[in-house]
Amino acid sequence: MKTELNTELNRIIQLEEGLVALASLYHNPMTGDRILKLELNYHTQIIGAKSFTLQGFSGEEAENLVRNLPDNQYIMREIDEFLAGDMD
């Protein structure tokens, strides 16, 4: 059975010079979790995607995380590690 995710928020976020994340926040009504999907673009080229399950986050908490994404050390570290893996 496929679960339909409800889109709550879409946002373009400048992370660094030339590095942009297209952030989409979804709500999974089956589990109550929020899911953050990031499409990473470097100088308009898609370079990858990451997703995060935000267990226990309210809608407001998840939206604040997206709005302040560059301030979230955990997610920024995950992005850095993902990008470093592409350089190997």
Are the C-beta atoms of residues 31 and 6 closer than 8 Å to each other?
no
Sign of the CA dihedral with 73 first, then 68, 19, and 52 last:
positive
Q: How far apart are the first and last CA of the chain?
A: 38
Q: pLDDT band at 2, cuts 50/70/90?
A: low
Query: For residue 3, what pLDDT is reported?
Result: 59
Query: For residue 9, what pLDDT is reported?
Result: 86
Round to whole Å and give the CA distance between 28 and 5. Answer: 5
Query: For residue 41, what pLDDT is reported?
Result: 95
Query: For residue 48, what pLDDT is reported?
Result: 93
Query: For residue 6, what pLDDT is reported?
Result: 72
Task: Encode pLDDT of 4-53 as tens digits.
Answer: 667 778 999 999 899 999 999 999 888 889 999 999 999 989 999 999 99
Structural tokens at position 15:
């992370």
What domains does the chain contain, in order, with CATH numbers?
A: 6-87 (3.10.450)
Q: pLDDT band at 83, cuts 50/70/90?
A: confident
Q: What count of other Cβ atoms lies within 10 Å of the Cβ of residue 70?
A: 14
